[in-house]
Each structure stands twice: as structure tokens, then as C-alpha cells.
Amino acid sequence: MKTWLWHQVDAFTTTGGRVARTPVSTLLNVGVIGVALALPVGLYVAVVNVQSLTRSLASDPQLSVFLALDAGAADVKRIETRLRQHPTVREARYVPRDQALKELKASTGLADVVDSLPGNPLPDAFVVLPRNAAPQALEKLRNEVRGWPKVTHVQLDAEWARRLEAGLRAALLAVWLLATLFAFALVAVTFNTIRLQILTRREEIEVSKLIGATDSFIRRPFLYFGALQGLAGGLAAWAIIWVGVQLLNGALADLSRLYAAQVELQHLDPEDSGSLLVFSAALGWFGSWLSVNRHLARIEPR
Amino acid sequence: MISFSQVTKRYPGGLEALRGVTLAIAAGEMVFITGHSGAGKTTLLKLMAVIERPTSGSVVVNGQNVGALRPRAVPFLRRKLGLIFQDQKLLFDRTAFDNVMLPLAVTGFERREAARRVRAALDKVGLLAKEKVYPVRLSGGEQQRLAIARAIVHRPAILLADEPTGNLDTAYAAGIGDLFRSFNQVGVTVVIATHDEAFAARLKPRLIHLKEGRVAGQPTIRGAA
């Protein structure tokens, strides 16, 4: 156990020495890996942000029930009762057409246009909050209410959010495809780095084998190097994303002030950050493992 | 300690370096393998260190048939050997101290004890004052002695040396001969391949003379292997 520990410590010092001796090429490799990982991770952060935005907007799905323009007070009363008594309806709020027009005038700055209209073009409406927010339940309620007399149109207000959500799922798939490709790139970069290292250390490997070094002893510093380089690449990617989000938030702050709304991008959460680092280190390890297995066997002392 | 029985080594390309060699070296013996270059001396040592495997016949080192040794087991056999090469195989990007440390590092020796042993080995070959020097700044003789220090630092039972006095002057060779003698006196089995007859004669060891891949004086059996 103690021997094993010494081996690990030794391998670490050896690895550290190698990094220190080739700082520029190590830095460039880390940069390449960082940029390669930053692309899928950046896209992921974008998707996650849009997703959380749509969730907050569409958290309370509601139905807007528009009545026919010629619906009288009796019709309104009848539909209101039906809605209130419906088992899946939690709340139904009546929006009279006059009030809707007033709101339209006040909120959109279209007062001039509205004033110039000959009459009120808006129908009476109900805003219905369902008990069950599941898409199927909403769909069912909409189809039912749509068939009632004097109801011209029922709109599912969360529909756009659901479409966006489906789109985001596709985007997330794209993230994974991209991540797979760049993971391959990471493995390839590490493979090549380690190949070059093995070639330049040929003599050392040969001598080590001659004095009784096991393959795992020779392999260890290379594996550590691969893992460390991968980890450093992951850190670089994380830093790139962090700076990117920070810069975008700076720009968005102006936008938020102009629109008086709070828009802020979220950073990568700790869990995802951890996965990124573990993942990149593991891939680096894997790349160097492939490379070492392939190239080490060819170096036999003569 | 080491025994060869009907060993033939044929290299790819058809060169037959050894032909039906049979010999035995007892523990604690000091043996010189002599002969012209190309007689098979180096091949003999390479077979002992499992750097090459015999084409036929069996090589037994320390009770193990090395011809049939699994690759995984090879490092552990080599740890019982001290190897000194014609071209020394020192690592030029490490100090004298680190070069000698190598055999202890691969076995995961405790550091303080390892450092103590490295200094003892350097002291033995007279290089203690140069432990921080890189091999390039050592003379040919000093490099050879550094290689010897590296070969004995882990206290091997068997010391194998290929042309240890290769390009050294006679006085220097004598000093190195005395070093080998002193290792042999503490019980190490020493096998030295050399074409330097004067070096061999001075130490009065047992001689095994190789000629064209055969042990000279031994009856040659055609097609024995």
C-alpha cells in the first residue's frame, strides 16, 4: 500500500516535471481542448437558459375562451356557470369586452388606433385556469369548451411554450451530438500528445524496462499527464463559458433596464461544472491510455 | 544460478548467434565470457536478461526458465539482475543521483532509505562528490562507473556486464576490474562479456571462450539444435 502510494506520488512529480518542461505546447493543447469543449458546453448553457425562461413563463397554463361578438349577457352567464361547475376548471375569470379594450389601450400604447376604430372589435372572454396542467388534460378541456354554443375560439396560452420546449429538446440532442464529436477530438488530441511524448522518451522507457520497471509503472505518468491535460482543458472550457456568460449578462443588463424586465443568464451550475471536469479528465485519461497501449508495446530494449 | 542447455539463437534474417550452447554458472561465481566480436557474447547476456529469447534450448536464471517467462513476469526477474551495457544507457536529462535512483524508483522504495542507498552506491564507485552532475559532464570512465552504480544500487544477486571496459584505458580498466572483484567477494554472481584479454587475465576468473556461437573446446554436434 505504501509502495503503491509512493508510486502515485512519483508519477505525479514526474508528470509535473514534464508539464514544466514543455509549458508552451501544454498550454496550447489545453487551449485547443478548452475551445473544443466550450462549444458544446456553451450551446448547452444557452439551451438551459432558454428552457428555464420558458418554464417560468409557461408555468401557469391557461385557456382563453373567446365568445362570439353577438353573445348577450344571458349567454355569458350561462357559459360562466358551465365553466365554474366543470370538474377540471379551478378558476374562471370573466373579462368583459369593454374592459379588454381599456386594457389594450393602456398596455400597448395603441390608444390612437383603438380610438379610431368604429366600434369595439374585441369579444367577451374568460380566462380559465385548469386544475390539471398536463398537456393532454388541457387539450381535452379545450376541445370540449370549443364545442359550446356562442364560443368562437379557445386558445391554449401555453402552447407556444410547449412548442419551444419541443424545439429545445431537439437542441439538447444537438448538444449531445456535438459533445460526442468534441469528446472524440479531445481523445484524439491527447492520443497524439502522448504518442509524441512516448517517442521523445523512447530511451527512458527502454532503460526503465531494462531495470525492471513494470508496464504500469511506465504507463502511469503518461496516464496522469493525459488526465491532467484533459482536466485543465475542462477548466479552460469552464472559464471560457463563465467569461462569455458574464459578458452577455453585461450586455443584457442594458437591455433589462430598457425593457424594465429582469433578464439574466445563468452560469453553469455546480453539478454540471463538476460533470464537465470529471468528463474531460476521464476522456484525457482514456486518450492517453489508448495511445500508451498502442505505442508502449513497440518499445522493447534491444 | 544460470544454466544454458543446448541453446540456439537465430535472429530474424538467419544470423545464428549461438549454436547449441550448454554451460552452467554457479551462485557466487565470477565468470568472463571472452571471444571475438560477433562470437555471441552479447547475445548470451541478452538471453540471461530476457532481452532476447532463445530459438531453442532452455535458459534458466535463478531457477526460472526465462525462455518461457510471461512478459508480465520479466520486470520482476530483471530486478534481481544488475545490468551494465556496452553503451551504458544513462539518461542524460537526469543527474547522476537520479540515474542511480531509477532502479529503486521502479520498485517503489521508501525515499529516505533509497537516497541513502544511492549515496552508498555512488560512494562505492567514487562518484559521491558528483551526485548533482549531469552525465554529459562526466568523463567516459566516470560514466561507466555511474552505470555500475546504477546496476548495483538495488543489490542484485547477479551482475551482468557487457564490455564494461569498452573504450577505457588500461589503468581505468583495472580499477573497474577491482570493483567487480569486490562485488563478487560479497557473494554477487558476476558475468562479464569482454574481448579485452588483458582485463580478463588480471582478475583470474573462470573463462568461457565463445567461438562462432559455440563454447570453444566443446565438441560440436552438427544440427544438434
Q: Looking at the domain assignment, is residue A136 inside a domain?
A: yes
| Shared domain check, A265 and A203 | yes
User: Within 10 A of A257 (CB to CB), how many other CB atoms are there?
Assistant: 9
A6 in B contact zone (CB under 8 Å): yes
- At residue B218, the pLDDT reads 46
- Burial class of residue B158 in the structure, from the number of CB atoms within 10 Å of its CB (0-12 exposed, 13-18 middle, 19+ buried): buried
Question: Whole-number mean pLDDT of chain B?
Answer: 87
| Shared domain check, A236 and A106 | no
Beta bridge pairs of residue B210:
B215
Q: Where among A130, A157, A184 does a domain terminate? A: A157
For B78, the closest chain A residue by CA position comes to: A212
**How far is the alpha carbon of B78 from chain A, nearest alpha carbon, in Å?**
5
For B74, the closest chain A residue by CA position comes to: A212
Does the pLDDT at position B160 exceed 90? yes
Contact criterion met (CB < 8 Å) for A211 and B78? yes
Does the pLDDT at position B12 exceed 60? yes
Contact criterion met (CB < 8 Å) for B108 and A208? no
What's the rounded Cα separation, in Å, for the pair A174 and A237?
Answer: 18
DSSP state of A133: -
**How far is the alpha carbon of B193 from chain A, nearest alpha carbon, in Å?**
17
Q: From A186, A198, A194, select the one nearest A232 (Cα to Cα).
A: A186
Does the pLDDT at position B224 exceed 70? no
What's the rounded Cα separation, in Å, for the pair A202 and A204?
Answer: 6
Does the pLDDT at position B97 exceed 90? yes
Q: Looking at the domain assignment, is residue A87 inside a domain?
A: yes
Does the pLDDT at position A76 exceed 90? no
Contact criterion met (CB < 8 Å) for B103 and A7? no
Which residues on chain B are in Cβ contact (under 8 Å) with A10?
A: 105, 108
- At residue B217, the pLDDT reads 59
- At residue A288, the pLDDT reads 94
> Which DSSP string do the residues of A131-159 spell out, in sequence order?
S---HHHHHHHHHHHHTSTTEEEEEETTH
User: In which residue are the cell numbers 393532454 written?
Assistant: A136
Beta bridge pairs of residue B2:
B25, B61
A94 in B contact zone (CB under 8 Å): no
Q: Looking at the domain assignment, is residue A283 inside a domain?
A: yes
What's the rounded Cα separation, in Å, for the pair B19 and B215?
Answer: 9
Radius of gyration of chain A (CA): 32
Q: Looking at the domain assignment, is residue A137 inside a domain?
A: yes
Q: How many domains does chain A have?
A: 2
| Shared domain check, A171 and A145 | no
Amino acid at A54: T
B206 in A contact zone (CB under 8 Å): no
- The model's pLDDT over A120-150, given as tens digits with 9 standing for 90+, comes to 878 888 888 877 767 777 778 888 888 888 8
What mean pLDDT do residues B169-195 have? Answer: 88
Q: Hey, what's the cell of A277?
A: 471536469
- At residue B222, the pLDDT reads 42
| Shared domain check, A110 and A11 | no
Which residues on chain A are in Cβ contact (under 8 Å) with B77?
A: 212
Confidence (pTM): 0.73
| Shared domain check, A169 and A143 | no
Q: Looking at the domain assignment, is residue A302 inside a domain?
A: no
Q: From A27, A41, A29, A32, select the one nearest A241 (Cα to Cα).
A: A41
Q: CA B88, B93, B95 angle in degrees (round to 5)?
A: 80
- At residue A259, the pLDDT reads 64
Across the interface, of B75, B102, B105, the residue whose CB is closest to A214 is B75
| Shared domain check, A168 and A127 | no
Q: Looking at the domain assignment, is residue A102 inside a domain?
A: yes
Q: Where among A142, A157, A172 does a domain terminate? A: A157
Q: From B134, B128, B204, B194, select the one nearest B167 (Cα to Cα).
A: B194
CATH code of A72's domain: 3.30.70.3040
Across the interface, of B72, B103, B110, the residue whose CB is closest to A212 is B103
Does the pLDDT at position B81 exceed 80? yes
| Shared domain check, A104 and A220 | no
A213 in B contact zone (CB under 8 Å): yes
| Shared domain check, A146 and A75 | yes
A298 in B contact zone (CB under 8 Å): no
Measured over the CA atoms of residue B67, residue B68, residue B70 and residue B76, the dihedral's sign is: negative
| Shared domain check, A114 and A252 | no
Contact criterion met (CB < 8 Å) for B79 and A10? no
- The model's pLDDT over A190-206, given as tens digits with 9 standing for 90+, comes to 999 899 989 888 888 99
- At residue B221, the pLDDT reads 41
- The model's pLDDT over A151-184, given as tens digits with 9 standing for 90+, comes to 888 887 766 767 777 888 888 898 899 889 989 9
Contact criterion met (CB < 8 Å) for A210 and B106? no
Measured over the CA atoms of residue A85, residue A91, residue A94 and residue A100, the dihedral's sign is: negative
Does the pLDDT at position B47 exceed 60? yes
- At residue B176, the pLDDT reads 87
Q: Looking at the domain assignment, is residue A272 inside a domain?
A: yes
Query: A80 versus B31: which is more confidently predicted?
Result: B31
Confidence of residue B159 (pLDDT cuts 50, 70, 90): very high
- At residue A261, the pLDDT reads 60
- Burial class of residue A297 in the structure, from the number of CB atoms within 10 Å of its CB (0-12 exposed, 13-18 middle, 19+ buried): exposed
What mean pLDDT do residues A280-301 have? Answer: 90
| Shared domain check, A102 and A144 | yes
Q: Where among A137, A157, A177 does a domain terminate? A: A157
Contact criterion met (CB < 8 Å) for A211 and B79? yes
B76 in A contact zone (CB under 8 Å): yes
User: In which residue are the cell numbers 559455440 written?
Assistant: B214
- The model's pLDDT over A269-280, given as tens digits with 9 standing for 90+, comes to 889 999 999 999
B110 in A contact zone (CB under 8 Å): yes
| Shared domain check, A108 and A14 | no
Under a CB-based contact definition with an 8 Å cutoff, are residues A152 and A67 in contact?
A: yes
Residue A118: φ, ψ to 5°: -70, -35
DSSP state of B207: E
Q: From A233, A216, A237, A227, select the one nearest A194 (Cα to Cα).
A: A227
Give the structural domain span for A132: 63-157
B109 in A contact zone (CB under 8 Å): yes
Under a CB-based contact definition with an 8 Å cutoff, are residues A225 and A196 in contact?
A: no
DSSP state of B74: H
Under a CB-based contact definition with an 8 Å cutoff, are residues A160 and A57 in contact?
A: no
What mean pLDDT do residues B34-39 have? Answer: 86
DSSP state of B94: S
Confidence of residue B115 (pLDDT cuts 50, 70, 90): very high
| Shared domain check, A213 and A153 | no
- The model's pLDDT over A79-125, given as tens digits with 9 standing for 90+, comes to 888 888 888 888 888 888 888 887 777 766 667 777 777 778 788 88
- The model's pLDDT over A43-72, given as tens digits with 9 standing for 90+, comes to 898 888 887 777 666 556 778 888 888 878
- The model's pLDDT over A230-255, given as tens digits with 9 standing for 90+, comes to 999 999 999 999 999 989 888 888 77
* Alpha helix positions (H), A22-134: 23-57, 73-85, 97-108, 111-116
Q: Looking at the domain assignment, is residue A301 inside a domain?
A: no
Contact criterion met (CB < 8 Å) for B83 and A210? yes
